[in-house]
Amino acid sequence: MFLDATEYFENPSDDYLKLKGRYSEIDGFRVLDASELPPGVEFGTTYKTWCLNPPVYCSWLERQLNLGGVQIVSASLVAILEVFPTLRDIDSRIVINCSGIGFSDPEVFPTRGIMDLGNG
């Protein structure tokens, strides 16, 4: 579903304030005026975006991968190197890390924000 989105930031990073990267190139992107911000919010934007149902999409994506010959292996690992013994009996050339927060990788970090998807 396509809809209008609004993001509010209580403490935005410099990258948001400077609009670095492709952030400001999103369709319908606009920085909100101070009069449009709720109390306690320092920065806000609005833009066009899309929304999907994650369980439905993930099921569809898994089926597409399976039809393409991809074998999905799910395992609970403590360290990334555990993947090799886990896959020793499987002919694999690619491993996709879906660990979420990422095995203590300093380049992986959670983000936090508030998104108002409107009344659509």
Tell me how far apart the alpha carbons of residues 15 and 13 are, in angstroms, rounded to a whole number: 5
Encode pLDDT of 28-37 as tens digits.
899 999 999 9
Distances (CA, A) of 44 to 19, 33, 68, 79, 111: 12, 8, 42, 38, 16
Question: Would you call 44 helix, strand, or coil by DSSP?
Answer: strand
Encode pLDDT of 65-104 as tens digits.
999 988 888 888 888 788 888 888 787 777 777 777 667 7
26 versus 51: which is more confidently predicted?
51
pLDDT of residue 59: 94
pLDDT of residue 60: 95
What backbone torsions phi and psi does residue 99 show, to the nearest 5 degrees?
-80, -5
For the whole model, what pTM was predicted?
0.48
pLDDT of residue 93: 76
Instruction: Enter the tokens of residue 70.
Output: 């991809």
Residue extents of the structural domains in the chain: 2-99
